[in-house]
Structure 1
Amino acid sequence: MVKGIESSPFSGLQNAAAKAEEAGRGKLDKLREKTLESASAAGSGDKVSLGGEKRAGDVYKAEATRAEMSPQFMLLRDLVAKTLTEQGATFSLSINGEQKGIEDLSLEEAQALVADDGYFGVDQTSQRIVDFAIGLAGNDPSKLDEILAGVERGFQEAAQAFGGSLPDISYKTYDAIREKLDQWVAGFEKQE
Protein backbone atom coordinates (compact mmCIF):
# COMPACT_ATOMS: atom_id res chain seq x y z
CA MET A 1 0.00 0.00 0.00
CA VAL A 2 1.37 3.39 -0.90
CA LYS A 3 1.09 5.68 2.10
CA GLY A 4 2.41 8.74 0.31
CA ILE A 5 5.19 10.18 -1.68
CA GLU A 6 7.65 12.27 0.17
CA SER A 7 9.22 15.02 -1.80
CA SER A 8 10.74 18.33 -1.07
CA PRO A 9 11.57 19.61 -4.51
CA PHE A 10 13.16 22.84 -3.43
CA SER A 11 14.97 22.44 -0.11
CA GLY A 12 17.69 20.13 -1.39
CA LEU A 13 17.92 22.00 -4.65
CA GLN A 14 18.23 25.34 -2.92
CA ASN A 15 21.01 24.02 -0.69
CA ALA A 16 22.81 22.55 -3.68
CA ALA A 17 22.38 25.77 -5.66
CA ALA A 18 23.74 27.86 -2.79
CA LYS A 19 26.75 25.56 -2.42
CA ALA A 20 27.36 25.59 -6.16
CA GLU A 21 27.22 29.38 -6.28
CA GLU A 22 29.56 29.68 -3.30
CA ALA A 23 32.03 27.16 -4.71
CA GLY A 24 31.88 28.64 -8.19
CA ARG A 25 32.83 32.21 -7.28
CA GLY A 26 36.26 33.05 -8.56
CA LYS A 27 36.62 29.68 -10.26
CA LEU A 28 34.61 30.70 -13.30
CA ASP A 29 37.33 32.88 -14.83
CA LYS A 30 39.98 30.24 -14.18
CA LEU A 31 37.78 27.54 -15.66
CA ARG A 32 36.99 29.70 -18.68
CA GLU A 33 40.70 30.41 -19.29
CA LYS A 34 41.65 26.77 -18.81
CA THR A 35 38.86 25.60 -21.09
CA LEU A 36 39.73 28.09 -23.81
CA GLU A 37 43.44 27.20 -23.59
CA SER A 38 42.85 23.46 -23.72
CA ALA A 39 40.31 23.78 -26.51
CA SER A 40 42.62 26.01 -28.53
CA ALA A 41 45.54 23.67 -27.98
CA ALA A 42 43.50 20.65 -28.98
CA GLY A 43 41.89 22.45 -31.89
CA SER A 44 38.53 20.99 -30.91
CA GLY A 45 35.27 22.48 -29.80
CA ASP A 46 32.48 24.33 -31.48
CA LYS A 47 33.05 27.79 -32.86
CA VAL A 48 30.47 30.50 -32.64
CA SER A 49 30.52 33.93 -34.23
CA LEU A 50 27.87 36.57 -33.91
CA GLY A 51 27.48 39.79 -35.83
CA GLY A 52 27.86 40.97 -39.37
CA GLU A 53 31.60 40.77 -39.76
CA LYS A 54 33.44 37.52 -40.22
CA ARG A 55 35.80 36.64 -37.39
CA ALA A 56 37.17 33.65 -35.58
CA GLY A 57 34.59 32.25 -33.21
CA ASP A 58 34.95 31.74 -29.51
CA VAL A 59 35.58 28.19 -28.43
CA TYR A 60 33.51 26.77 -25.60
CA LYS A 61 33.20 23.52 -23.76
CA ALA A 62 30.34 22.09 -21.75
CA GLU A 63 32.29 22.56 -18.49
CA ALA A 64 32.34 26.32 -18.97
CA THR A 65 28.64 26.56 -19.67
CA ARG A 66 27.81 24.41 -16.63
CA ALA A 67 29.95 26.64 -14.43
CA GLU A 68 28.12 29.73 -15.71
CA MET A 69 24.67 28.43 -14.77
CA SER A 70 22.98 30.59 -12.19
CA PRO A 71 21.48 28.95 -9.12
CA GLN A 72 18.03 29.93 -10.41
CA PHE A 73 18.67 28.20 -13.72
CA MET A 74 19.94 25.10 -11.93
CA LEU A 75 16.83 25.13 -9.74
CA LEU A 76 14.59 25.35 -12.81
CA ARG A 77 16.56 22.64 -14.59
CA ASP A 78 16.33 20.35 -11.59
CA LEU A 79 12.60 21.04 -11.22
CA VAL A 80 12.03 20.14 -14.86
CA ALA A 81 14.13 17.00 -14.43
CA LYS A 82 12.12 16.10 -11.33
CA THR A 83 8.87 16.58 -13.20
CA LEU A 84 10.07 14.38 -16.05
CA THR A 85 11.26 11.67 -13.71
CA GLU A 86 7.86 11.69 -12.02
CA GLN A 87 6.34 11.01 -15.42
CA GLY A 88 8.24 7.78 -15.91
CA ALA A 89 12.00 8.13 -15.99
CA THR A 90 14.11 6.41 -13.35
CA PHE A 91 13.40 7.61 -9.83
CA SER A 92 12.69 6.36 -6.35
CA LEU A 93 9.66 6.71 -4.10
CA SER A 94 9.16 6.63 -0.39
CA ILE A 95 6.61 3.91 0.29
CA ASN A 96 5.75 3.19 3.91
CA GLY A 97 8.91 5.09 4.87
CA GLU A 98 11.11 2.91 2.65
CA GLN A 99 12.92 4.28 -0.41
CA LYS A 100 12.24 2.15 -3.48
CA GLY A 101 13.38 2.49 -7.04
CA ILE A 102 10.61 2.38 -9.59
CA GLU A 103 11.97 -0.88 -10.93
CA ASP A 104 11.61 -2.38 -7.42
CA LEU A 105 7.90 -1.61 -7.07
CA SER A 106 5.54 -4.52 -6.79
CA LEU A 107 2.74 -4.77 -9.29
CA GLU A 108 0.24 -3.71 -6.61
CA GLU A 109 2.29 -0.65 -5.62
CA ALA A 110 2.69 0.46 -9.23
CA GLN A 111 -1.00 -0.06 -9.91
CA ALA A 112 -1.89 2.01 -6.83
CA LEU A 113 0.28 4.88 -8.10
CA VAL A 114 -1.35 4.99 -11.54
CA ALA A 115 -4.87 4.09 -10.40
CA ASP A 116 -7.60 6.63 -11.09
CA ASP A 117 -7.14 8.08 -7.59
CA GLY A 118 -3.35 7.46 -7.44
CA TYR A 119 -0.66 10.12 -7.37
CA PHE A 120 0.24 9.52 -11.03
CA GLY A 121 -3.33 8.73 -12.02
CA VAL A 122 -5.26 10.76 -14.55
CA ASP A 123 -7.19 12.84 -12.03
CA GLN A 124 -4.34 13.97 -9.77
CA THR A 125 -1.84 14.52 -12.58
CA SER A 126 -4.31 16.48 -14.72
CA GLN A 127 -5.29 18.57 -11.69
CA ARG A 128 -1.64 19.46 -10.98
CA ILE A 129 -1.15 20.53 -14.60
CA VAL A 130 -4.40 22.55 -14.66
CA ASP A 131 -3.55 24.28 -11.37
CA PHE A 132 -0.11 25.16 -12.71
CA ALA A 133 -1.50 26.46 -16.02
CA ILE A 134 -4.22 28.54 -14.35
CA GLY A 135 -1.65 29.97 -11.97
CA LEU A 136 0.60 30.95 -14.88
CA ALA A 137 -2.36 32.56 -16.62
CA GLY A 138 -3.17 34.59 -13.52
CA ASN A 139 -6.60 32.94 -13.28
CA ASP A 140 -7.54 34.80 -16.48
CA PRO A 141 -9.92 32.74 -18.66
CA SER A 142 -9.19 34.95 -21.68
CA LYS A 143 -5.82 33.19 -21.85
CA LEU A 144 -7.42 29.78 -22.46
CA ASP A 145 -6.10 29.58 -26.03
CA GLU A 146 -2.55 30.21 -24.80
CA ILE A 147 -2.94 27.60 -22.06
CA LEU A 148 -4.27 25.02 -24.52
CA ALA A 149 -1.46 25.78 -26.97
CA GLY A 150 1.09 25.28 -24.20
CA VAL A 151 -0.48 22.01 -23.09
CA GLU A 152 -0.61 20.77 -26.68
CA ARG A 153 3.02 21.74 -27.27
CA GLY A 154 4.06 20.02 -24.04
CA PHE A 155 2.34 16.79 -24.99
CA GLN A 156 3.81 16.89 -28.50
CA GLU A 157 7.32 17.36 -27.09
CA ALA A 158 6.77 14.55 -24.60
CA ALA A 159 5.59 12.27 -27.41
CA GLN A 160 8.72 13.08 -29.43
CA ALA A 161 10.89 12.36 -26.40
CA PHE A 162 9.22 8.95 -26.06
CA GLY A 163 9.60 7.98 -29.70
CA GLY A 164 6.44 9.45 -31.20
CA SER A 165 3.69 8.23 -28.90
CA LEU A 166 2.80 8.18 -25.23
CA PRO A 167 1.15 5.57 -23.00
CA ASP A 168 -2.67 5.56 -22.97
CA ILE A 169 -2.72 7.11 -19.49
CA SER A 170 -1.02 10.20 -20.91
CA TYR A 171 -3.74 10.68 -23.53
CA LYS A 172 -6.41 10.21 -20.87
CA THR A 173 -4.60 12.84 -18.79
CA TYR A 174 -4.59 15.19 -21.79
CA ASP A 175 -8.35 14.74 -22.24
CA ALA A 176 -8.93 15.35 -18.52
CA ILE A 177 -6.86 18.55 -18.68
CA ARG A 178 -8.97 19.89 -21.55
CA GLU A 179 -12.19 18.96 -19.73
CA LYS A 180 -11.06 20.66 -16.50
CA LEU A 181 -10.01 23.79 -18.38
CA ASP A 182 -13.40 23.89 -20.12
CA GLN A 183 -15.10 23.62 -16.72
CA TRP A 184 -12.88 26.41 -15.38
CA VAL A 185 -13.89 28.75 -18.22
CA ALA A 186 -17.56 27.74 -17.90
CA GLY A 187 -17.42 28.77 -14.24
CA PHE A 188 -16.49 32.30 -15.29
CA GLU A 189 -19.21 32.41 -17.96
CA LYS A 190 -21.88 31.51 -15.38
CA GLN A 191 -20.75 34.41 -13.18
CA GLU A 192 -21.29 36.93 -15.98
Structure 2
Amino acid sequence: MEIKNVNSQKPIIAKETEKDMKIKEASKEKEQNKNTEGIKYEKSDKVESYTTYDKTAIDKLKAEAQQRHENLRRMVEELLKRQGLSFKDAFDGKEVKVDEETRLEAAKSLEEGGEHSIDAVATRIVDFAKAISGGDKSKLEILKKAIDEGFAGAKAALGGELPEISKKTYDEIMRRLDEWENE
Protein backbone atom coordinates (compact mmCIF):
# COMPACT_ATOMS: atom_id res chain seq x y z
CA MET A 1 0.00 0.00 0.00
CA GLU A 2 1.35 3.38 -0.97
CA ILE A 3 0.92 6.51 1.16
CA LYS A 4 1.18 9.79 -0.68
CA ASN A 5 2.91 12.74 0.83
CA VAL A 6 0.29 15.14 2.18
CA ASN A 7 2.36 18.12 1.09
CA SER A 8 2.24 16.98 -2.51
CA GLN A 9 -1.48 17.59 -2.66
CA LYS A 10 -2.75 20.91 -3.86
CA PRO A 11 -4.36 22.97 -1.11
CA ILE A 12 -8.11 22.87 -1.13
CA ILE A 13 -9.57 26.34 -1.50
CA ALA A 14 -13.27 26.72 -0.94
CA LYS A 15 -14.90 29.12 -3.32
CA GLU A 16 -17.02 31.75 -1.67
CA THR A 17 -20.58 31.36 -2.83
CA GLU A 18 -22.82 34.31 -3.54
CA LYS A 19 -24.80 33.36 -0.45
CA ASP A 20 -21.63 33.41 1.70
CA MET A 21 -20.75 36.85 0.34
CA LYS A 22 -24.23 38.16 1.19
CA ILE A 23 -23.91 36.80 4.72
CA LYS A 24 -20.50 38.47 5.11
CA GLU A 25 -21.87 41.77 3.77
CA ALA A 26 -24.85 41.62 6.12
CA SER A 27 -22.54 40.85 9.01
CA LYS A 28 -20.28 43.81 8.14
CA GLU A 29 -23.29 46.12 7.77
CA LYS A 30 -24.68 44.92 11.08
CA GLU A 31 -21.34 45.63 12.78
CA GLN A 32 -21.18 49.10 11.24
CA ASN A 33 -24.73 49.88 12.40
CA LYS A 34 -24.17 48.43 15.86
CA ASN A 35 -24.12 51.79 17.62
CA THR A 36 -27.04 53.41 15.81
CA GLU A 37 -30.42 53.90 17.39
CA GLY A 38 -33.61 52.07 16.48
CA ILE A 39 -34.57 48.69 15.23
CA LYS A 40 -32.72 47.13 12.33
CA TYR A 41 -34.67 45.27 9.66
CA GLU A 42 -32.67 42.92 7.50
CA LYS A 43 -33.46 40.83 4.41
CA SER A 44 -32.58 37.15 4.16
CA ASP A 45 -32.63 34.65 1.29
CA LYS A 46 -34.06 31.97 3.55
CA VAL A 47 -37.10 33.87 4.74
CA GLU A 48 -39.05 36.67 3.16
CA SER A 49 -37.73 38.94 5.93
CA TYR A 50 -36.57 38.71 9.50
CA THR A 51 -35.75 41.17 12.21
CA THR A 52 -33.24 41.47 14.99
CA TYR A 53 -33.51 43.53 18.13
CA ASP A 54 -31.14 46.40 18.70
CA LYS A 55 -29.42 45.95 22.06
CA THR A 56 -28.19 49.55 21.99
CA ALA A 57 -31.74 50.89 21.65
CA ILE A 58 -33.00 48.61 24.41
CA ASP A 59 -30.17 49.61 26.75
CA LYS A 60 -30.89 53.28 26.04
CA LEU A 61 -34.61 52.82 26.79
CA LYS A 62 -33.77 50.98 30.02
CA ALA A 63 -31.36 53.72 31.11
CA GLU A 64 -33.94 56.42 30.41
CA ALA A 65 -36.56 54.49 32.39
CA GLN A 66 -34.15 54.11 35.29
CA GLN A 67 -33.44 57.86 35.24
CA ARG A 68 -37.17 58.70 35.28
CA HIS A 69 -37.68 56.29 38.16
CA GLU A 70 -34.84 57.93 40.08
CA ASN A 71 -36.32 61.39 39.45
CA LEU A 72 -39.70 60.29 40.78
CA ARG A 73 -38.15 58.53 43.74
CA ARG A 74 -36.09 61.61 44.58
CA MET A 75 -39.19 63.83 44.41
CA VAL A 76 -41.08 61.54 46.81
CA GLU A 77 -38.07 61.19 49.09
CA GLU A 78 -37.72 64.99 49.33
CA LEU A 79 -41.43 65.31 50.11
CA LEU A 80 -41.10 62.76 52.90
CA LYS A 81 -37.93 64.36 54.31
CA ARG A 82 -39.63 67.77 54.51
CA GLN A 83 -42.20 66.09 56.77
CA GLY A 84 -39.59 64.22 58.81
CA LEU A 85 -40.66 60.90 57.29
CA SER A 86 -38.99 58.07 55.39
CA PHE A 87 -40.15 55.56 52.79
CA LYS A 88 -40.61 53.05 55.61
CA ASP A 89 -42.93 55.47 57.41
CA ALA A 90 -45.00 55.88 54.26
CA PHE A 91 -45.25 52.11 53.75
CA ASP A 92 -46.15 51.64 57.41
CA GLY A 93 -49.24 53.77 56.83
CA LYS A 94 -48.15 57.08 58.36
CA GLU A 95 -50.00 60.03 56.89
CA VAL A 96 -48.08 61.83 54.16
CA LYS A 97 -49.19 65.32 53.20
CA VAL A 98 -48.42 66.47 49.69
CA ASP A 99 -47.30 70.09 49.72
CA GLU A 100 -48.21 72.50 46.92
CA GLU A 101 -44.70 72.54 45.43
CA THR A 102 -44.63 68.76 45.05
CA ARG A 103 -48.22 68.62 43.81
CA LEU A 104 -47.44 71.17 41.09
CA GLU A 105 -44.26 69.33 40.10
CA ALA A 106 -46.15 66.03 39.84
CA ALA A 107 -49.02 67.64 37.92
CA LYS A 108 -46.58 69.18 35.45
CA SER A 109 -44.98 65.78 34.75
CA LEU A 110 -48.43 64.36 33.94
CA GLU A 111 -49.45 67.17 31.58
CA GLU A 112 -49.09 66.89 27.82
CA GLY A 113 -45.37 66.99 27.06
CA GLY A 114 -44.44 65.89 30.60
CA GLU A 115 -42.26 62.85 31.18
CA HIS A 116 -45.16 60.92 32.75
CA SER A 117 -47.87 62.07 30.30
CA ILE A 118 -50.04 59.55 28.49
CA ASP A 119 -48.20 60.15 25.22
CA ALA A 120 -44.71 59.94 26.74
CA VAL A 121 -45.36 56.74 28.69
CA ALA A 122 -47.21 55.07 25.80
CA THR A 123 -44.36 55.99 23.44
CA ARG A 124 -41.74 54.50 25.75
CA ILE A 125 -43.66 51.27 26.31
CA VAL A 126 -44.46 50.75 22.62
CA ASP A 127 -40.90 51.61 21.56
CA PHE A 128 -39.55 49.11 24.07
CA ALA A 129 -42.03 46.44 22.93
CA LYS A 130 -41.01 46.93 19.30
CA ALA A 131 -37.31 46.91 20.18
CA ILE A 132 -37.47 43.82 22.38
CA SER A 133 -39.49 41.92 19.74
CA GLY A 134 -37.12 42.98 17.00
CA GLY A 135 -40.08 44.48 15.17
CA ASP A 136 -41.59 41.01 14.78
CA LYS A 137 -45.37 41.46 14.66
CA SER A 138 -45.88 37.74 15.26
CA LYS A 139 -44.83 38.45 18.87
CA LEU A 140 -47.62 41.00 19.31
CA GLU A 141 -49.84 38.77 21.44
CA ILE A 142 -46.94 37.98 23.77
CA LEU A 143 -46.18 41.69 24.06
CA LYS A 144 -49.81 42.57 24.80
CA LYS A 145 -50.02 39.82 27.41
CA ALA A 146 -46.88 41.13 29.14
CA ILE A 147 -48.28 44.67 29.13
CA ASP A 148 -51.59 43.38 30.52
CA GLU A 149 -49.71 41.61 33.30
CA GLY A 150 -47.76 44.77 34.10
CA PHE A 151 -50.90 46.87 34.38
CA ALA A 152 -52.60 44.14 36.43
CA GLY A 153 -49.64 44.18 38.83
CA ALA A 154 -49.87 47.96 39.13
CA LYS A 155 -53.60 47.69 39.74
CA ALA A 156 -53.06 45.15 42.52
CA ALA A 157 -50.31 47.29 44.08
CA LEU A 158 -52.67 50.27 44.09
CA GLY A 159 -55.46 48.44 45.89
CA GLY A 160 -57.39 47.10 42.91
CA GLU A 161 -58.03 50.29 40.94
CA LEU A 162 -55.86 52.24 38.53
CA PRO A 163 -55.94 56.03 38.28
CA GLU A 164 -57.72 57.39 35.21
CA ILE A 165 -54.43 58.46 33.60
CA SER A 166 -53.15 54.88 33.82
CA LYS A 167 -56.30 53.55 32.16
CA LYS A 168 -55.95 56.10 29.36
CA THR A 169 -52.26 55.23 28.97
CA TYR A 170 -53.12 51.53 28.69
CA ASP A 171 -55.75 52.30 26.03
CA GLU A 172 -53.24 54.43 24.09
CA ILE A 173 -50.61 51.67 24.23
CA MET A 174 -53.07 49.09 22.88
CA ARG A 175 -54.26 51.52 20.18
CA ARG A 176 -50.65 52.03 19.02
CA LEU A 177 -49.90 48.32 19.04
CA ASP A 178 -53.04 47.67 16.98
CA GLU A 179 -52.00 50.44 14.59
CA TRP A 180 -48.53 48.88 14.28
CA GLU A 181 -50.08 45.47 13.59
CA ASN A 182 -52.12 46.94 10.73
CA GLU A 183 -49.21 48.82 9.10
User: If the length of structure 1 is used for normalisation, what is the TM-score?
Assistant: 0.45
TM-score, structure 2 as length reference? 0.47
Greater C-alpha Rg = 2
Give the strand-richer structure, 1 or 2.
1
